């Protein structure tokens, strides 16, 4: 049931110093955000505070900004409630006001606040005392790119769902394209699907659409393409293919719009540090997915090529740059950046002893992208891949994914912050350093126990 908001007829006035907390910034306001009504607590010219209510329409938001500017308010604090805060944030920011967006969980633990009026007063009081921490929000241009990339990701997920439906329809027809081919959305798979929708039923003719680089022969593919050509299944296949093509068209529109917005943001550092050739396998994969233009645009945006890092693909780099931007000065250290990505290990200590706790299920989009990259890099013959496999063997795959994703985040931070180039030392060098560190630990333990290690030849 929707909660009814009750407007106050007369402004509520709070006398200065009534809460007993020292104020650092008196000219600040606090706003309790809802879907239809906003409660605003602002300072009074003669001292104390006052509370007024405003609607949620754009004219009301403009009137709210005018009122705050007329009072001489310098900064405004609000809770991040759903998406209702976004229009208000953008209006206030466009009028030159400093906007502090705080996590609602920081305020929900405070007892005794039962009304919206008390909420906005409490926000104003905490903000005036300097007790509210602002959430991270990138620059406006990054927010625009982030909005486009997130919607594009939703379309990619929807396309995958329709691809699954196409595969289900083929399975019901017993046309085993997904058994004959490794991927039905490849060149050979899509050519066969389009030929079936166009009316072709001969498996030999369909198998001739095989790409020359396909592993299976035409005879092997033809054996899997004999099916039950029922009209309802064929109609479902036709409509599913139309939806798949329609989503691909929308994705192409998003790609062009994203590149159009990124190209004017090219920095001078990109001209000073031109793109370097990638490893052969990675370069082939990018070329096959037609991601080279996006890679060049991302390089011009950041001035460095994040794709050079093993495991980091073009899509992962796109997510990182559109979620956080290319200026990481907001994060004073790589530890803060890793913590914001939620890739820092939790330390639950009580009574001086560590306690076991369940890991956090939530994850940021950038953090999830780095987790996926960690799984990918674990299959490579690189130093990061060797680190992943050794950790997975010693502990488990979840720990290895988490730790490798954290390493990738640190490498990305160093590359964006200082332009530090990524160099893969190789599996052999990683193993050598690992064994050397292991020997040093053994020597330290032996020395503490009064022993001395001696080198002997290994016996087979």
pLDDT tens, position by position, 50-104: 999 999 999 999 999 999 999 999 999 998 777 889 999 999 999 999 999 988 7
Residue 5 has pLDDT above 60, yes or no: no
Predicted pLDDT at 452 = 87
What integer best gives the mean pLDDT of the chain? 88
Predicted pLDDT at 357 = 61
Span 248-262, pLDDT tens digits: 999 999 999 999 999
Predicted pLDDT at 16 = 44
Hey, which bits of 313-405 come out as E strands?
349-350, 353-354
Residues ≥6 apart with Cβ < 8 Å to 119: 32, 39, 79, 107, 113
SS3 370: helix
Percent of the chain with pLDDT over 90: 63
Predicted pLDDT at 185 = 87
Predicted pLDDT at 8 = 43
Predicted pLDDT at 72 = 94
Residue 4 has pLDDT above 50, yes or no: no
Span 83-98, pLDDT tens digits: 889 999 999 999 999 9
Q: Which of 102, 6, 39 is nearest to 110 (CA)?
A: 102
Confidence tier at 211 by pLDDT (50, 70, 90):
confident
Residues ≥6 apart with Cβ < 8 Å to 314: 286, 289, 291, 294, 295, 298, 307
Residue 355 has pLDDT above 70, yes or no: no
Span 402-425, pLDDT tens digits: 999 999 999 999 999 998 889 899
Predicted pLDDT at 47 = 84
Span 379-391, pLDDT tens digits: 999 999 999 999 9
Confidence tier at 109 by pLDDT (50, 70, 90):
low
Task: For the chain, list the domains and their CATH numbers.
Answer: 12-128 (3.30.420.10), 141-264 (1.10.287), 266-345+363-424 (no CATH)
Predicted pLDDT at 1 = 43
Span 23-49, pLDDT tens digits: 889 999 999 998 889 999 999 988 889
Q: CA–CA separation, 48 vs 100, rounded Å? A: 21
Residue 212 has pLDDT above 50, yes or no: yes
């Amino acid at each position: 049931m929707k909660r009814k908001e009750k407007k106050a007829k007369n402004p509520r006035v709070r006398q200065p110093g009534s809460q007993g907390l020292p104020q650092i910034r008196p000219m600040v306001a606090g706003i309790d955000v809802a879907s239809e009504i906003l409660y605003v607590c602002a300072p009074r010219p003669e001292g104390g505070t006052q509370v007024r209510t405003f609607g949620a329409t754009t004219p009301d938001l403009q009137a709210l900004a005018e009122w705050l500017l007329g009072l001489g308010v310098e900064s405004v604090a609000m809770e991040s409630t759903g998406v209702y805060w976004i229009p208000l944030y953008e209006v206030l920011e466009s009028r030159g006001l400093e906007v502090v967006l705080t996590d609602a969980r920081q305020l929900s633990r405070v007892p005794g606040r039962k009304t919206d009026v008390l909420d906005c007063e409490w926000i104003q009081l905490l903000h005036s005392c300097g007790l509210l921490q602002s959430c991270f929000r990138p620059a406006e241009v990054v927010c625009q790119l982030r909005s486009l990339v997130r919607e594009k990701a939703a379309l990619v997920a929807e396309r995958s769902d329709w691809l699954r439906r196409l595969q289900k329809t083929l399975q019901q027809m017993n046309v085993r394209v997904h058994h004959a081919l490794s991927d039905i959305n490849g060149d050979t798979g899509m050519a066969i699907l389009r030929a079936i929708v166009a009316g072709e039923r001969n498996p030999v003719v369909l198998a001739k659409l095989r790409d020359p680089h396909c592993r299976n022969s035409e005879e092997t593919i033809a054996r899997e393409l004999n099916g039950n050509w029922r009209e309802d299944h064929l109609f479902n296949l036709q409509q599913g293919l139309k939806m798949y093509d329609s989503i691909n068209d929308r994705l192409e529109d998003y790609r062009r719009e994203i590149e159009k917005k990124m190209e004017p943001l090219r920095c001078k550092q990109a001209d000073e540090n031109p793109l370097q050739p990638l490893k052969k396998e990675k370069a082939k994969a990018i070329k096959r997915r037609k991601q080279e233009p996006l890679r060049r645009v991302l390089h011009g945006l950041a001035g460095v090529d994040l794709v050079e890092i093993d495991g980091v693909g073009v899509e992962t780099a796109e997510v990182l740059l559109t979620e956080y931007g290319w200026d990481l000065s907001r994060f004073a250290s790589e530890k803060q950046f890793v913590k914001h990505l939620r890739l820092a290990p939790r330390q639950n200590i009580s009574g001086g002893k560590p306690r076991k706790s369940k890991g956090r299920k939530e994850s940021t989009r950038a953090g999830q992208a780095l987790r996926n990259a960690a799984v990918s890099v674990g299959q490579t013959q690189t130093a990061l891949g060797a680190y992943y496999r050794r950790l997975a063997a010693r502990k488990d795959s979840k720990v290895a994914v988490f730790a490798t994703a954290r390493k990738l985040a640190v490498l990305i931070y160093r590359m964006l912050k200082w332009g530090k180039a990524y160099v893969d030392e190789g599996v052999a060098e990683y193993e050598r350093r690992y064994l050397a560190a292991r020997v040093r630990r053994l020597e330290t333990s032996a020395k503490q126990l009064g022993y001395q290690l001696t080198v002997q030849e290994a016996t087979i």
